[in-house]
Structure 1
Amino acid sequence: MNSTNVIELNEQSKNEAQSCLVCGATPAFHCYGSTACSSCKVFFLRITTLDTPIPNCQNNRICPKQDFRGRGKAKCKFCRYEKCIEMGMIPEITARRSGCNLRERRSDVGNGRTKLRFESVDLPDIIMDVEKPCTSSSPGPDVRELQLVAMGLPTPMIMNEKIQFAKCLVHLEKLLLNDEQTVSVNYGFDIDLHVPISKALLNPGLVCKRVPIGFDLYGSAHIPYHCTLQLSGRRIARAAVLVLDWIRAIPEFWYLDQEDKELLCCRQYLPQVLFTDYYYTYKHKFHGMLMVLGSRIAPEDIEHFKEMKASFGLILEYGLKRIIPCMKRAEIEDEEYVLLKNIIIFSSAMGFSDQSAEISKNAHAKYSQLLFQHLKKKLGSEAKAFERFMMLMGLPTYIQSISHKMLPQFGRHILLKEMGVFGKLPEDVFCRGFL
């Protein structure tokens, strides 16, 4: 058989498959385990979801010889249903969605029903039924179906409520910072930097307590003498807890592989800490640099102390010349800041498995879209939103750049165990995240 005959046979079989196996109408498509037209599909769906039994045939089952494409009342329901079963249509495939048991005309939604089958059903049971997983080919419940469910509830149920996701992240940020104007910065808390990243990821509280982060300018910046020798270690511990708490609150994070979770936390330590420091420096309009635990570095301090210039000179210069001016031009606020934090977290999937890389890519697109939609709603113009969006998206690039520039200094503190920076946690962060 030559190729021409094969193509002709394929085209012939394709044309034959486009005819309904029940009534012979065209066009037809694959549904419920067989090939049927739209009319037969709707008939099969409705008759399999009825609570009443199918009426018997009044013509001694000779109706299959009739034309099922005739007028509606002239067609026998029983024989047409038998023909559907004979042609391979499967009743169990239908009625997999919760809405299939709640059929109602769209024009009648909200006008009340004569009978409600779920008057005594509790709210938790309804929610479990709506969220019950099904096969991948079955779509989830739409708003109309949820409205029908809510009509039978003893208490009202809010439908299609838009959650302000950025506002939720802002509240989460305030909760994690634990900053209050009336509470002074605490430097005497216990720390444990010997906790590996795997255990710290499960319980960040093992590293240290969630003391006030100290960005509030009204907090006390007085550092007790016995805490100065371990000041950098205390900053790393409290900053690590802050970063881990935030990452653990991101839903996409828990879908990553375990190795990729630990890699992400190690890799994002420096970018997240630096971005947080820069933002609150900008927010509080401080002329220098605000850091974790109430530390404040001014440009005049850098000029007087050479050791401080070696450690913080680059951070201060880069922030004052590039990052903070970019924040001012973009007029960044809390909502944009928290969304940018997640964009920075998922900005790179290097070293991830294929599954984790795909999750990271989708998460980056999700939070970028949320940022753009937030700006569009805030500014009221798509053109202005796009311009502001492009300004803000320059910040992740700056943060990644300064993070790489600070790697030598960060590694020096860890290798030389300076200022209390020693233990398994900082070693994991540096070695697994940047080497």
Structure 2
Amino acid sequence: MPDHVEVMEIDELPSTSLTKVREFFAQDDCDICNSPAATLHYGAMTCGSCKVFFLRTSMAKRVFLCDKGGRCEYPRDRCRACRFQKCLKMGMNPEAVGRRKQLIASAKENEEDQLPDLSIVPYFTEKSAARSRSYHLEAKKFDNPTKIVSHLLGIERFCDNEDTGKYSSYENFDFTLDVDLSEALQFPGKICRRTPIGFSSGLQICAKDPSSLFRQLYCRLTLHMLDWVVSLDEIWMMSEKDRVRLISRQAANCVVLTMAYNTYRFDASGVLFCHGFQLEKTLGDSPEFVFITADLKRAIIANDFSTVMVDFAHSQLLSVFREIHLSPEEYVLLKCISFFTTVGHLSDEATEIVRNARRRYEYLLAKHIEEERPNFSPTARAIRVMKILGLLPKIMKMAIFDDQYLAKMAALDLQGMRGRITRDFHLSD
């Protein structure tokens, strides 16, 4: 335990077994056949068998027919047509097959050429662009990604809201969980005040009542995520149903990546939360506590959940950030790519928008690296792109664990976490 601390015990936080949660990070079930030990392949968490099936079917452009007219339930019904359709439904992308190998091969063939375009088709066809006249970052503007990246960095600064000044106390911090996600997308500020996010600042006490601490921190991070996501033009090209479903499923990716990147940015020992708080490993045999340093410079949320999150973030994400010296520009593009990755159960129109957006931001990442590192060979640039994209399954895994923990808190109303917004994010199908 750190010296000179005030200790506030939080009895209601759910206790977890470190062995069990570490086992969670060791494997996932396949989205297609429910087999264990799945990893990210072509946009979904799949086992090796389903990966190979999708790879061969996509490369051979085979067409299977279902004897029951597409009414099978794979894997109970061993139907190849319905198996492939389930692959597509869960977000697997045929256009991603062989993309990375082609990228390296093309770069090696001609070291003097620029980094090959990651896209296979134009990012937004005339049909998809016509869905929203508000869409203003069209493919014709891709020749100057600098302005787009600068725009994304500006959005991140707006979400942080650090320019409004730093405060030592938010005793009148207004917040609520009783806002539907659809309403929050129209009026994000209903969730809470846009205080400075406080990743780098000293501790900012949110209220006199420590029992509401977790809810307040959750609300501020949720507002940060919503302010960011509503700035993406692509989500407004979708129907409201698809928009809500996409955001509810992908929000955790954005939140954990934001926390991890700012932890790297400010070289914190735990994982930065907001308002000066951070997750840290459980200290010795301590139960679940919040430690607040006497000089109000640091606060620690310590429990089994935070221990596993810190271990995973530092070993799997921050180690790569440090190795490649991830830049702010690469971070905001990775955040966009992560948001538009592996989402099933959307309409065909929304699925097309998500896939196009994923290719678009991958392209912008490649172009940014090409412009910012002119001394790199095309092969070196391609490898850097792949290292950054290789972070996606790790972000997803950390996000799934975070989402499951918060779902438990919301379902059991631990720390008062039951509300309409937590229901929509963590408990809805």
**CA–CA separation in structure 2 for the residues paired with 1:342 and 1:415:** 29
Mapping for residues 47-58 of structure 1, pairs under 5 Å: none
SS at structure 2 position matched to 1:285: coil
Whether the aligned pair in 2 keeps the contact of 1:204 and 1:245 (CA below 8 Å) is yes
Kindly state the Cα deviation for residue 355 of structure 1 after the two structures are TM-superposed: 0.3
Whether the aligned pair in 1 keeps the contact of 2:146 and 2:368 (CA below 8 Å) is no
**CA–CA separation in structure 2 for the residues paired with 1:302 and 1:342:** 35
Query: For the structure 1 residues 162 and 231, does the alpha-carbon distance in structure 2 shift closer, same or farther, using more than 3 Å as the test?
Result: closer
Instruction: State yes or no: 1:214 paired with 2:190.
Output: no
**CA–CA separation in structure 2 for the residues paired with 1:317 and 1:181:** 33
CA RMSD, Structure 1 to Structure 2 (Å): 2.3
Kindly state the Cα deviation for residue 223 of structure 1 after the two structures are TM-superposed: 2.9
* 1:246 pairs with one of 228, 233, 243: 228
Query: For the structure 1 residues 176 and 186, does the alpha-carbon distance in structure 2 shift closer, same or farther, using more than 3 Å as the test?
Result: farther
Instruction: State yes or no: 1:364 paired with 2:382.
Output: no
Percent of residue pairs identical = 25
Kindly state the Cα deviation for residue 166 of structure 1 after the two structures are TM-superposed: 0.9
Structure showing greater Rg: 1
Q: In structure 1, what is the equivalent of residue 278 of structure 2?
A: 296
Whether the aligned pair in 2 keeps the contact of 1:187 and 1:293 (CA below 8 Å) is no
Q: TM-score normalised to the size of structure 2? A: 0.60
**CA–CA separation in structure 2 for the residues paired with 1:406 and 1:244:** 17
**CA–CA separation in structure 2 for the residues paired with 1:326 and 1:227:** 38
Kindly state the Cα deviation for residue 412 of structure 1 after the two structures are TM-superposed: 1.7
**CA–CA separation in structure 1 for the residues paired with 2:145 and 2:424:** 40
Query: For the structure 1 residues 277 and 185, does the alpha-carbon distance in structure 2 shift closer, same or farther, using more than 3 Å as the test?
Result: farther
- Please tell me the residue identity of whatever aligns with 2:189: G
Q: In structure 2, what is the equivalent of residue 312 of structure 1?
A: 306
**CA–CA separation in structure 2 for the residues paired with 1:161 and 1:407:** 37
* 1:231 pairs with one of 204, 213, 230: 213
More displaced, 266-275 or 333-342? Answer: 266-275
SS at structure 1 position matched to 2:346: coil
Q: In structure 2, what is the equivalent of residue 428 of structure 1?
A: 424
Kindly state the Cα deviation for residue 376 of structure 1 after the two structures are TM-superposed: 1.0
**CA–CA separation in structure 1 for the residues paired with 2:364 and 2:237:** 20
**CA–CA separation in structure 1 for the residues paired with 2:356 and 2:329:** 20
**CA–CA separation in structure 2 for the residues paired with 1:263 and 1:287:** 34
- Please tell me the residue identity of whatever aligns with 2:150: K
The gaps in structure 2 that reach 5 residues or longer are: 1-125, 130-142, 289-301
Query: For the structure 1 residues 302 and 393, does the alpha-carbon distance in structure 2 shift closer, same or farther, using more than 3 Å as the test?
Result: farther
Q: Deviations over 1:278-304 (max 9, x none)?
A: 0000011112221122212344x5435
**CA–CA separation in structure 1 for the residues paired with 2:245 and 2:169:** 30
Query: For the structure 1 residues 180 and 287, does the alpha-carbon distance in structure 2 shift closer, same or farther, using more than 3 Å as the test?
Result: farther
- Please tell me the residue identity of whatever aligns with 1:416: L
Whether the aligned pair in 2 keeps the contact of 1:176 and 1:242 (CA below 8 Å) is yes
Whether the aligned pair in 2 keeps the contact of 1:277 and 1:290 (CA below 8 Å) is yes
Q: Deviations over 1:227-267 (max 9, x none)?
A: 32111111221111111111111111110111111112211
Q: In structure 2, what is the equivalent of residue 267 of structure 1?
A: 249
Instruction: State yes or no: 1:406 paired with 2:398.
Output: no
SS at structure 1 position matched to 2:284: helix
Whether the aligned pair in 2 keeps the contact of 1:176 and 1:245 (CA below 8 Å) is yes
Kindly state the Cα deviation for residue 306 of structure 1 after the two structures are TM-superposed: 2.8
Q: In structure 2, what is the equivalent of residue 178 of structure 1?
A: 161
**CA–CA separation in structure 2 for the residues paired with 1:322 and 1:426:** 27
Query: For the structure 1 residues 186 and 255, does the alpha-carbon distance in structure 2 shift closer, same or farther, using more than 3 Å as the test?
Result: farther
Query: For the structure 1 residues 319 and 292, does the alpha-carbon distance in structure 2 shift closer, same or farther, using more than 3 Å as the test?
Result: same
Q: In structure 1, what is the equivalent of residue 371 of structure 2?
A: 377
Query: For the structure 1 residues 312 and 183, does the alpha-carbon distance in structure 2 shift closer, same or farther, using more than 3 Å as the test?
Result: same
Task: Report the structure, 1 or 2, having the larger helix content.
Answer: 1
Q: In structure 2, what is the equivalent of residue 99 of structure 1?
A: none
Kindly state the Cα deviation for residue 213 of structure 1 after the two structures are TM-superposed: 0.8
SS at structure 2 position matched to 1:164: helix
- Please tell me the residue identity of whatever aligns with 2:314: L
**CA–CA separation in structure 2 for the residues paired with 1:271 and 1:186:** 29
Query: For the structure 1 residues 232 and 369, does the alpha-carbon distance in structure 2 shift closer, same or farther, using more than 3 Å as the test?
Result: same
Kindly state the Cα deviation for residue 222 of structure 1 after the two structures are TM-superposed: 4.9
**CA–CA separation in structure 2 for the residues paired with 1:258 and 1:222:** 36
Kindly state the Cα deviation for residue 331 of structure 1 after the two structures are TM-superposed: 1.3
The gaps in structure 1 that reach 5 residues or longer are: 1-132, 137-159
Whether the aligned pair in 2 keeps the contact of 1:185 and 1:214 (CA below 8 Å) is no
Instruction: State yes or no: 1:165 paired with 2:148.
Output: yes
Kindly state the Cα deviation for residue 181 of structure 1 after the two structures are TM-superposed: 9.5
**CA–CA separation in structure 2 for the residues paired with 1:182 and 1:304:** 38
**CA–CA separation in structure 1 for the residues paired with 2:347 and 2:202:** 45
Q: In structure 2, what is the equivalent of residue 110 of structure 1?
A: none
Query: For the structure 1 residues 163 and 313, does the alpha-carbon distance in structure 2 shift closer, same or farther, using more than 3 Å as the test?
Result: closer
Q: In structure 2, what is the equivalent of residue 194 of structure 1?
A: 178
SS at structure 2 position matched to 1:226: coil
**CA–CA separation in structure 2 for the residues paired with 1:404 and 1:162:** 31
Query: For the structure 1 residues 363 and 224, does the alpha-carbon distance in structure 2 shift closer, same or farther, using more than 3 Å as the test?
Result: closer
- Please tell me the residue identity of whatever aligns with 1:175: F
Q: Deviations over 1:151-208 (max 9, x none)?
A: xxxxxxxxx9775211221121111101259512554311121111111111101111
Query: For the structure 1 residues 326 and 386, does the alpha-carbon distance in structure 2 shift closer, same or farther, using more than 3 Å as the test?
Result: same
**CA–CA separation in structure 2 for the residues paired with 1:391 and 1:162:** 20
